[in-house]
Amino acid sequence: MNRDIRTVDDVLRLLDGLFAPEADRWTAGAASWWDGFYADRSKPVPFFVAKPDENLASYAERSLITPGRALDLGCGPGRNALHLASLGFDVDAVDLSPAAIAWAGDRAREAGADGVRFHCGDAFELTAAELCGPYDLIYDSGCFHHLPPHRRISYLALIERVLAPGGHFALTCFAAGAMGSELPDSDFYRESRLHGGLAYTAESLRRIFSDLTEVELRRMHDEQDESPHFGEPFLWTALFRRAAPETEPVAQVY
């Protein structure tokens, strides 16, 4: 008999266990799955390219984001983290896969890049000492849509914990009607599978991140091979801002 549920974290871990790691890209087997995925660096995978997301580059070009402290969630081989560092950001980059982190480290050394600290592990489990927030920017290119529905709770809690007041949160994720599964959340638990990733509508993203202010939400531009940027139109790109604290009025002395 097992009666160990006492906390919300206990419930989240219980729900994690409903998903077979060999079938999906989450839970205890996820690191091994992704290590296999990244093992062949020559595979024709679109986001293996060594160039940043077009939307991320656009945010900087339009001064929607400015250099500060950044956290790259699910950094993979480090293409966006290295771009942020080149713009003057001080970057923490996190990925579950040791193979991805090793590749990212190789790219950083080849580029002579500093200003990036790569962390191998689960961002939800990293300590405050490892994730040295608050961050002026949290960037996620393709991590969010691989989370099971219940882990949105952990994801939002992470943003609440480490995003600085006035800071920005940006992500790319599967767009409904173009890529990813459109099953209702409950069906993923009935089938114990994530079907390769969850699709989102613009409305669902606005609802999930409703505590933040929307700056821009659009489909990613389709970038050609010769472009200096990565872009695939089956993805949403979203930029949100956390409210800055209101300045208290200064008392007048007469």
Four-CA torsion 62, 64, 67, 69, nearest 10 degrees: -150
Give the model's confidence band at 247: pLDDT under 50 very low, under 70 low, under 90 confident, else very high.
low
Tell me if 145 sits within 8 A of 178, measured CB to CB.
Answer: no
pTM of the entire predicted model: 0.92
**Residue range 149-178, pLDDT digits in tens:** 999 999 999 999 999 999 999 999 999 999
CB atoms within 10 A of CB 191: 14
Query: Percent of the chain, pLDDT > 70?
Result: 93
Give the model's confidence band at 131: pLDDT under 50 very low, under 70 low, under 90 confident, else very high.
confident
Tell me if 240 sits within 8 A of 172, measured CB to CB.
Answer: no
pLDDT at residue 214 tops 60: yes
Helix (H) or strand (E) run with residue 54 in it: helix 54-61
pLDDT at residue 128 tops 80: no
Tell me if 91 sits within 8 A of 72, measured CB to CB.
Answer: yes
Three-state DSSP state, 184 = coil
pLDDT at residue 2 in the model: 81
Give CA separation, 13 vs 25, 27, 114, 150, in Å: 15, 9, 36, 10
Distance CA 96, CA 115 (A): 20
pLDDT at residue 92 in the model: 96
**Residue range 173-209, pLDDT digits in tens:** 999 999 999 999 999 999 999 999 999 999 999 999 9
Topology classification of domain 8-241: Rossmann fold (3.40.50)
Tell me if 168 sits within 8 A of 136, measured CB to CB.
Answer: yes
Question: Going by C-beta distance under 8 Å and a sequence separation of 6 or more, which residues neighbour residue 147?
Answer: 26, 155, 198
Nearest to 82, CA basis, from 43, 62, 112, 60? 112
Mean pLDDT across the chain:
91
Mean pLDDT for 78-89 is 97
pLDDT at residue 110 tops 70: yes
Give the model's confidence band at 250: pLDDT under 50 very low, under 70 low, under 90 confident, else very high.
low
**Residue range 7-31, pLDDT digits in tens:** 999 999 889 888 866 455 656 567 7
pLDDT at residue 66 tops 80: yes
Distance CA 152, CA 145 (A): 10
Mean pLDDT for 117-128 is 88
Distance CA 242, CA 53 (A): 22
